[in-house]
Amino acid sequence: MLCRANPAGDGAAQFGDGIRNDRLRFAETAEPDQRHPCIAVGCLHVGDVGQLEASNTCGYQRNALTGCDKTHDGGVLGRLDRRVVTHIATAHECPDLGVQRRRTLARESDEGVVPETTETHRSLCGDCVTDGHGNQQSIMAEHIGLHGRTHGDRAGDANVDRSVGQRPSLLVGRHRVEFDTYIGPCRPEAMQERRDELIGGRVDETEPESTPSADTKLLGSPQHALRRHEELTGMGEKRLTVGGQSHSTSCPLEQGETEVGLELADLLAQRRLSDVELRGSSPEMELVGNGDKGTEAAQRCQLIHSIILSVVVDLLLHHYRSMRQTAEMGKHKPPARYSAFGLLWRGLRKQSWPRIWREPEFKSSYDVVIIGGGVHGLATAYYLAANHGITDIAVVDRAYLGSGGSGRNTAIVRSNYLTPEGVAFYDRSLELYNSMSNDLNLNVMFSERGHLTLAHTDSALRTMHWRAEVNKLQGIDSSVIDPTEIKKLTPSLDVSTHTRYPIMGALYHPPGGTIRHDAVVWGYARGADAYGVDLFQQTEVLDILTEGDHGSGKVTGVRTSRGDISTPVVVNCTAGWASTISSMVDVRLPITTHPLQAAVTEPVKTFLPTVVVSGSLHVYVSQTDRGELVFGASVDPVATYNMGGTLEFTEELAGHVLELMPGISKMRLLRQWAGLCDMTPDYSPVMGPTPVDGFYVDVGWGTYGFKAGPVSGEQMAACVANGATPDLIKPFELSRFTEGNLVGEKGAAAVGH
Amino acid sequence: MLLVPCPNCGPRNAADLSYNGESHARPDPTTCTPEDWRTYLYLRDNPSGWLRESWYCSSGCRKHFTIERHTLTGELRTPILPGSKPGATKGETK
C-alpha cells in the first residue's frame, strides 16, 4: 500500500473545527497481497455521525478498517456516510483501470463533512494517489512530502528527509499540518534541487522589506515549493492550495494566530487575497495596482479572452469525449447527438431528424428478454448494455414503449423515504436522475423544485419527524417545517387553523421535483437502441417456456405474438401486469393490481413552486412547466385491471384539493386517466431472482415505480449480469415474504393510508 | 360505478361495501408452518380474469360474503354467504 495508516490520534492530519471533528487519515491495506498501485484513499471520521473509511477506489479490497464496501461510483456504502465515500472514491484516479480523476465537489456541507475537507485532502494528498505511472516509490515520497507531519514519524520507513529544517505547514481549522517539502528517493537529484529550493524560500521569508504582510510572507514557501514540486514530478495538474502559513513548529494554535476558516469559499478567497498581496509585493505588479485605466481595460479584455477560450476548449473537449463514447459503442451507428448547434444546423438545412430508435428484425434467440417496455425494462436493458456489455437483448411490449405506468404517473421524484433501505435506494435513483440529461443526451426536464409532504395530524407530524431523522442520518436533505415556512414556500396553500384538516407542518425535501416521464422512457430507449438492444413494440408475450418442474424449473424461451424466442434469461418488468406474466412460470407474487387515477387541469400562470403531497387528504399536486396542475391520488380500493376513470375519484379529488388550495375553485379539469399499480403488502418492490432459474422480477412498484426507474434498472442489470443480487436491492427479494422480513414503507410510499 | 350484489341487500354501490380482496382457504394456524402462513397472508393469484373474492357489506347487513368478479370487465356473479349454497341469495349480477 502506498500510504500508511495512522492509528487514531497518531499525528493524523486533522481537519475540521473540533466540533465536527473530521479527521483525515489514510487507510492501510489489510493484506500485502491486496496491494494495488493505484490508490490509497483517506478516511474521514465524522465525529458524532459515524465513521467511514474509503480504502481503495478500485473496489480492490474491502475497507480495511470498517469493512464497508465501496466502489468507484459510490456503490453500496457504509450506512451513514455514503456521500463522503462517494466523494472520496470519485476523487482519485486509478491508472490501472483507466478511470479518470473526477474532481467533483461535495455538494453538501451541513452534515459534518465539509467540501473543503475533501478538497483540502486532495490538495494535500491528491498526488499521493498516483503519479500517473503507478510508481510506488515516488508516490510514497510525494505522499510523505505532502504529509510531513503525518508521516514524518515513519521517516525511517520512507527516507523522509528531516534535515530540511524549517518545515512549512498550514492551518486547517484548529489544526496544523506540516509539509516536508521533499522529493522521493527515486530521484535524488530532484531531491537535492528541491532542498535548495526550500532553503531559498526560507531565505526569502526572512526579508521583511519585500513582504508587506505576514500572510504573504508565510504563504510564499509552501506555494512555491508545491509548484516546484509539480514541475519536478511532472504533475502539472492545478492544485488547490489552501491558503495557509508556514510555521517552524507543529505546536497547537496559539492565541492571536490567524485561523483558516473551514468554508471552501473562505479558503479560496484567502488564497486569492494572498495571491493579490503577493503580486502587489513584487515591483512589476505594483504598476498594475496603480489604477492605470488602459491596463485595467487590457486586463478585462484578457479576462474575456480567457473565458471565451476556456468555453471553446470545454466545448471541444465535450465533443471529443462524446465522439469517443459513441465510438466505444461498437459497430452500431451512434444516434444523432442532440445539441443547440445540431438544431441550428438541421434547421438551416431543413433536415429531418432520424428515427429515435430502430425498427429491428425479430430474431429467434436473445441472451436476455425483457418483458415490458417501460422505464424499468428500458433502463435495465440500457444498463445491461452500458455497464455490463450485454447487448443481445430484446425488450418486448404489448403496446408501445412507455404505455403503462411510465406514461401515466405524475412524474414526481424524491428520496425522503422511511426505512434506511428505501432511502439508500431512492437516493441513488435521484442521483441518476440528476445526471440523466447528460448521460442520455436527452433533456428530461428535471425540475428540482422541492417536495412538501403535509402533516394534518399529530401522528402524521410524528411520522414526518421520524422520516426527517432517518433521512438526515443518511445524508438526505429533509426537514420538518412549520406552517409559516410552508406559507412562504407555497403561498397558495391554506395554512389557517379553521380548516377541516389544518396543516400542522410538513416534511420539506428540497431535492425532490418533477421530470418529464416520456423523455425518460425515450432517453433510455434511444440509449439502449444505440447499444444494439432490439425494442419490439406491439409484441405480446403469450407464454414463457421452461424445462423442469413447474415453479422451480429453468427458463428456455418466450412465446410471443410474433413468434418464439429462445433465451435463458427473462426479466419481468410489467408492473401492473406482473402477476399475469409470473403465473406463466407458476411464480406467485405478493401483488394485487389496483388502478390509480390522476387528472390534469387547464394551464394557468405558474403559482405553485413546489410539489405538494397530503397523506390525510389522499392527494398530491404539482404544476407542470406548461402551467397545468397535475393531481394524483391514492389507489382505488378494489383490485382491477380496468383503467377506466370514475366520477367518485374526481369528486373526491376536487374536494380535497380545494381544502388545500381554496383559491383554485374556478379551475377546470381537462382530463383524467388511470394507470395500474402492482401493490405489495409492505409498499416496497419485489426485485431479483425467483425460484425459477433465469426468471427475474422487477415488480411490485405500486405508486412509486417511476421515481425508482433508473436505480432499479441499474441494479437489475447488475443482478442479471452477475447472477447475484446487489446489496442495494437485497432487502427487496421475493423471499422476504416467506421469510417474514418485510420492508415497511407504507408510511412514506403512498398517500393511501 | 361498480354495483355489487350483496346476498342480503341486493345490488349496492361498491363504495357502500368494504373490499377484503382475494378469498383463500385459511390454513390451520395450529398445524401449518410459518412459511405456509406467510404464503396465505401475502401471496396472491391476482389474475386478469375471474377472481373469487370477499366483500363486507359494511353499511348494510354487515355480513361478509364471497363473489366472483372479472377483474378486467367488472362483471360479477355467484355471490355466496359463507355456509350457504350458490344461487340461494337475492343477489343479481350486473
Of A591, A739, A740, the CB nearest to B46: A591
Name the nearest CA neighbour of A40 among A52, A53, A27, A51: A27
- Per-residue confidence (pLDDT) for residue A197, from 0 to 100: 61
- Tell me if chain A has a CB within 8 Å of the CB of B22: yes
- Examine residue B14 and state whether it is found in any structural domain, yes or no: yes
- Per-residue confidence (pLDDT) for residue A740, from 0 to 100: 85
Q: Greater confidence, A218 or A679?
A: A679
SS3 content of chain A, % helix, strand, coil (to 5): 40, 15, 45
Cβ contacts of B73 on chain A, cutoff 8 Å: 642
Task: Report yes or no: A745 and A417 within 8 Å, Cβ to Cβ.
Answer: yes
Name the nearest CA neighbour of A627 among A606, A611, A610, A609: A606
- Examine residue B94 and state whether it is found in any structural domain, yes or no: no
Cβ contacts of B53 on chain A, cutoff 8 Å: 639
What is the rounded CA–CA span in Å between residue A419 and residue A443? Answer: 31
What type of residue sits at position A111? E
- Per-residue confidence (pLDDT) for residue B82, from 0 to 100: 80
C-alpha cell at A48: 458524532
Q: Which helix (H) or strand (E) holds B41?
A: helix B34-42
Could you count the other beta carbons within 10 Å of the beta carbon of residue A319? 13
- Examine residue B57 and state whether it is found in any structural domain, yes or no: yes
- Tell me if chain A has a CB within 8 Å of the CB of B46: yes
Q: Greater confidence, A77 or A597?
A: A597
A422-448, pLDDT tens digit by residue? Answer: 888 888 999 999 999 988 989 999 999
What is the pLDDT averaged over residues B27-41?
92
- Per-residue confidence (pLDDT) for residue A120, from 0 to 100: 36
- Per-residue confidence (pLDDT) for residue A344, from 0 to 100: 87
A647 and B1 within 8 Å at the Cβ level: the answer is yes
A639 and B38 within 8 Å at the Cβ level: the answer is no
Name the nearest CA neighbour of A555 among A544, A565, A563, A564: A544
B45 and A640 within 8 Å at the Cβ level: the answer is no
Q: Report the topology of domain A368-407+517-590+683-749.
A: FAD/NAD(P)-binding domain (3.50.50)
Average pLDDT, chain B: 87
> Any idea what the CATH number is for the domain that residue B32 is in?
3.30.2270.10
DSSP A81-124: -HHHHHHHHHTS-BTTTTBPP--PPP---SSS--HHHHHHHHHH
A164-221, pLDDT tens digit by residue? Answer: 334 444 444 444 444 433 333 334 455 556 556 655 544 344 344 433 333 333 333 4
A123: pLDDT strictly greater than 60:
no
What is the pLDDT averaged over residues A320-344?
67
- Examine residue B89 and state whether it is found in any structural domain, yes or no: no
Q: Which of A325-329, A360-364, A607-611 has the lowest mean pLDDT?
A: A325-329
Architecture of domain A451-510+593-679 in this structure: 2-Layer Sandwich (3.30)
Interface contacts (A, B; CB < 8 Å)? 67
Q: Greater confidence, A389 or A226?
A: A389
A248: pLDDT strictly greater than 70:
no
- Cα B48 off chain centre by: 16
- Per-residue confidence (pLDDT) for residue B38, from 0 to 100: 92
Residues in Cβ contact with A528 at an 8 Å cutoff, skipping those fewer than 6 apart? A357, A378, A381, A382, A385, A393, A395, A535
Average pLDDT, chain A: 69
B45 and A681 within 8 Å at the Cβ level: the answer is no
Cβ contacts of A684 on chain B, cutoff 8 Å: none
- Per-residue confidence (pLDDT) for residue A719, from 0 to 100: 96
B34: pLDDT strictly greater than 80:
yes
- Per-residue confidence (pLDDT) for residue A293, from 0 to 100: 58
Residues in Cβ contact with A462 at an 8 Å cutoff, skipping those fewer than 6 apart? none
Of A588, A637, A739, the CB nearest to B43: A588
Of B14, B72, B73, the CB nearest to A638: B14
A506: pLDDT strictly greater than 80:
yes
Give the rounded percent of residues in chain A with a pLDDT score beyond 90.
43
- Examine residue B86 and state whether it is found in any structural domain, yes or no: no
What is the rounded CA–CA span in Å between residue A300 and residue A494? Answer: 51
Which of the four pLDDT bands, split at 50, 70 and 90, describes residue A569?
A: very high
What is the rounded CA–CA span in Å between residue B70 and residue A556? Answer: 32
Cα four-point dihedral sign A659, A660, A661, A665: negative
C-alpha cell at A744: 415497511
Task: Report yes or no: A184 and A191 within 8 Å, Cβ to Cβ.
Answer: yes
Pinpoint the alpha helices (H) of A258-292: 264-281, 283-289
| A686 Cα to chain B: minimum distance (Å) | 12
What type of residue sits at position B49? G
Q: Greater confidence, A254 or A383?
A: A383
- In chain A, what are the domain boundaries? 23-286, 291-328, 368-407+517-590+683-749, 451-510+593-679
- Tell me if chain A has a CB within 8 Å of the CB of B38: yes
What is the rounded CA–CA span in Å between residue B46 and residue A593? Answer: 7
- Per-residue confidence (pLDDT) for residue A552, from 0 to 100: 83
Burial of A272 (0-12, 13-18, 19+ CB in 10 A): exposed
- Per-residue confidence (pLDDT) for residue A198, from 0 to 100: 53
Q: Which helix (H) or strand (E) holds A198?
A: helix A188-205
- Tell me if chain A has a CB within 8 Å of the CB of B88: no
Q: Which helix (H) or strand (E) holds B35?
A: helix B34-42
Interface pTM, i.e. ipTM: 0.90
Residue-range definition of the domain harbouring residue B27: 3-80
A641 and B42 within 8 Å at the Cβ level: the answer is no
Which of the four pLDDT bands, split at 50, 70 and 90, describes residue A648?
A: confident
What is the rounded CA–CA span in Å between residue A398 and residue A562? Answer: 11
- Per-residue confidence (pLDDT) for residue A674, from 0 to 100: 95
Which of the four pLDDT bands, split at 50, 70 and 90, describes residue A334?
A: low
- Per-residue confidence (pLDDT) for residue A752, from 0 to 100: 55
Which of the four pLDDT bands, split at 50, 70 and 90, describes residue A237?
A: very low
Which of the four pLDDT bands, split at 50, 70 and 90, describes residue A418?
A: confident
Cβ contacts of B34 on chain A, cutoff 8 Å: 740
Cβ contacts of A591 on chain B, cutoff 8 Å: 44, 46
A639 and B48 within 8 Å at the Cβ level: the answer is no
A160: pLDDT strictly greater than 80:
no
| Structural domain count, chain B | 1
Which of the four pLDDT bands, split at 50, 70 and 90, describes residue A745?
A: confident
Most B-contacting residue of A738, A742, A746 (CB-CB within 10 A), to test interface: A738
What is the rounded CA–CA span in Å between residue A238 and residue A218? Answer: 21
- Examine residue B87 and state whether it is found in any structural domain, yes or no: no
Most B-contacting residue of A574, A641, A732, A743 (CB-CB within 10 A), to test interface: A641
